[in-house]
Structure 1
C-alpha cells in the first residue's frame, strides 16, 4: 500500500469513517452549543478543541497548497480561540470542510510532494507531517469523546464504550 492510500485512510478514520475509533463527525454529533462550551478546570472545552483543529489543519493545508501562513502565533494557546467568530454549527462545518479539503488535496497531489519538505528551516517530508497531523487529530478526537463521557452527553452506541 502506498503512502497516499495510508494517509487517506487515516484521514477518513479521523473525519467520517468509523474504524478503530470514533471519527470527529460522530464525536460531535448531537452535541449542543452549551455542551461544546462546557469547561472543567483548566481543560479546554470541546469547542476550543474544535477551534484548535481548525487552526492547525487550515494552516498546514494552506502550506501544502503553497500558500504560506500570514499570521504568526506567539503561543499554541491562541489556536484554541474562536478566531472566525463562528457559531457552534459554523465551527463544526468549518472543521468538516477543512478535513474534506485535506483529503481532496492529498488525493489530487503529485506523488513527489510527499517527499518534499513541509518546512523551510528543516527537512520534514510531507508524508511524515501528514501522518503527524492525523495522529494529532485522532488525539483530540479522543479528548472530545472523553469530555462527552464525563459530561454524560456521550451515547455509547456511537462507539467507544
Structure 2
C-alpha cells in the first residue's frame, strides 16, 4: 500500500471510521457540554480540553503542510489544553472533526513525493510527521473513551 493511502486510512480511522479503535466522532457522540467539561481529578484534563489540544496540534501541522505561517514557538505543552473562554463544546468538537477532514482532503490531493520531503524543523519527513500526528490523535481519543467510561456516559454501542 502506498504511504499516501496508509496515512489517509489512519486519518479516516481517527476521524470518523471506528475499526481497531474508536474514532473521534464516535468517541464524542452524544456528549453534552457538562460531560465534556467534567474532570475526574485535578491533574487530569477534561474531554473538552483534550479535544482542544487535538485541534491545536492538528491545525498547527496542517498550516505548516499548506505552507502557512505559524508562530515560531508553539505554546508550552500544558497551555495547549487551556480553552479559549468563548469556545463552546459544539464548536471545539466541530473544529476537531473539520481539521481531520481537511487533512484527509489535503492528502487525497497531494503528490506522494511531498510526503517524502523533509520538514524544516527536524530530520523527519512529512510522512513521519503525519504518522506521529495520527498516533498522537489515537492516544488522546483513547483518553476520551476512558474518561467517558469513568463518568458513565459511554455506551457499548459506540465501540470497544
CA distance in 1, matches of 2:140, 2:72: 23
Moved more, 30-39 or 109-118: 109-118
Q: Which has the higher contact order (CA 8 A, sep 6+)?
A: 2
Give the superposition deviation at 1:22.
Answer: 0.7
Q: Aligned-pair RMSD on alpha carbons? A: 1.3
Q: What stretches of structure 2 of length at least 5 have no aligned partner?
A: none
Shift of 1:71: 6.1
CA distance in 1, matches of 2:85, 2:57: 14
Give the corresponding residue for 1:40.
40
C-alpha displacement of 1:5: 0.6
Name the structure 1 match of 2:91.
90
Give the C-alpha shift of residue 84 in structure 1.
7.3
Deviation at 1:112, TM superposition (A): 1.6
Provide the C-alpha distance between the structure 2 equivalents of 1:122 and 1:91, rounded to a whole number of angstroms: 29
The aligned runs of 1:20-39 (5 Å cut-off) are: 20-39=20-39
Supply the distance in 2 between the matched residues of 1:121 and 1:140 (Cα, whole angstroms).
Answer: 24
Q: Deviations over 1:104-141 (max 9, x none)?
A: 011111222111122x2432100111111000000000
Match of 2:61 in 1: 60
Equivalent in the alignment of 1:102 = 103
Deviation (angstroms), 1:74: 4.5
Question: Deviation of residue 75 (structure 1)?
Answer: 1.3
Give the whole-Å Cα distance in 1 for the aligned partners of 2:98 and 2:72: 21
